[in-house]
């Protein structure tokens, strides 16, 4: 279990920490498609997931002196980023490729399901509140190595940038059912990488969430 950090005092408006008190790294499931054979993170679970993320941020004393990093896919990522922005954290979004492609592959598909809400709108709302635009992996790391998966590489990039502040400052939160992913670079991959680096995992288990009033 990750040790609880003392609550951070608020910072003056516009000020950001040169070195964050803690770095909150997140990975979580996409919202289920309507035709998913075995439910993993269905829309009915969203409110319970949001409450669980808030509870974890409360436990960690998350506040303006902290830095949050994640991708911004429809589902756990955006719920986490929204929760962090409500608390005044500095938020950085790291994407595996250009925004247009990311929206098509990881955000827009869910927005077509009316039951799931407007995920593109949520993405844009988060983006508008960022102090700097999303960081794009090809711009910072160059072309993807031959045979490499963009989502796996982005997981490693997220983890490496988080560890740069110091391993003792890293708190990794995941919204995960404990199983393998639908493809490379999912939450299971990030969990394994964090553990391999000796990090602690704050696990919100979707199998135990059930549903909660919105």
**Domain layout of the chain by residue ranges:** 23-208
Task: Flag whether pLDDT at 13 surpasses 90.
Answer: no
Distance CA 107, CA 136 (A): 16
pLDDT confidence of 12, banded at 50, 70, 90?
very low
Task: Flag whether pLDDT at 29 surpasses 90.
Answer: yes
Residue 83: the pLDDT is 98
Residue 110: the pLDDT is 57
Residue 34: the pLDDT is 80
Residue 25: the pLDDT is 98
Task: Flag whether pLDDT at 118 surpasses 90.
Answer: no
Residue 7: the pLDDT is 41
Task: Flag whether pLDDT at 116 surpasses 70.
Answer: no
Mean pLDDT of the chain: 87
Least confident of 5-9, 16-20, 128-132: 5-9
Task: Give percent of the chain with pLDDT exceeding 70.
Answer: 86
Distance CA 82, CA 74 (A): 12
Distance CA 114, CA 116 (A): 5
Task: Flag whether pLDDT at 77 surpasses 80.
Answer: yes
Least confident of 61-65, 157-161, 210-214: 210-214
Helix or strand (DSSP H, E) at 175: strand 170-176
Residue 19: the pLDDT is 84
For residue 158 the two structure tokens come to: 């997220």
Summarize the confidence of residues 17-21 as an average pLDDT. 76
Distance CA 34, CA 154 (A): 27
Task: Flag whether pLDDT at 115 surpasses 50.
Answer: yes
Summarize the confidence of residues 151-169 as an average pLDDT. 95
The fold of 23-208 is Rossmann fold (3.40.50)
Q: What pTM, to 2 d.p., does this model score? A: 0.88
How does pLDDT run across 94-111, given as a tens digit for each residue? 999 999 999 999 998 754
Closest CA to 20 of 67, 70, 79: 67
């Amino acid at each position: 279990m990750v040790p609880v950090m003392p609550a951070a005092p608020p910072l003056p408006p516009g000020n950001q920490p040169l070195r964050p008190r803690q770095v909150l790294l997140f990975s979580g499931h996409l919202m289920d498609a309507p035709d998913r054979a075995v439910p993993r993170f269905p829309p009915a679970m969203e409110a319970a997931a949001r409450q669980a993320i808030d509870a974890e941020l409360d436990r960690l004393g998350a506040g303006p002196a902290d830095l949050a990093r994640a991708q911004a896919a429809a589902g756990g990522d955006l719920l986490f980023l929204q929760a962090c922005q409500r608390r005044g954290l500095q938020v950085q979004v790291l994407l595996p490729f250009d925004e247009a492609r990311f929206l098509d592959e990881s955000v827009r598909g869910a927005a077509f399901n009316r039951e799931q809400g407007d995920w593109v709108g949520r993405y844009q709302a988060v983006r508008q509140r960022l102090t700097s635009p999303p960081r794009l992996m090809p711009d910072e790391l160059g072309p993807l190595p031959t045979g490499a998966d963009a989502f796996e590489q982005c997981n490693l990039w997220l983890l490496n940038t988080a560890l740069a502040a110091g391993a003792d400052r890293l708190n990794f939160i995941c919204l995960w059912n404990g199983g393998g992913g639908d493809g490379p670079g999912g939450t299971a991959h990030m969990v394994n990488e964090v553990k391999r680096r000796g990090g602690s995992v704050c696990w919100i288990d979707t199998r135990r969430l059930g549903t909660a009033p919105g």
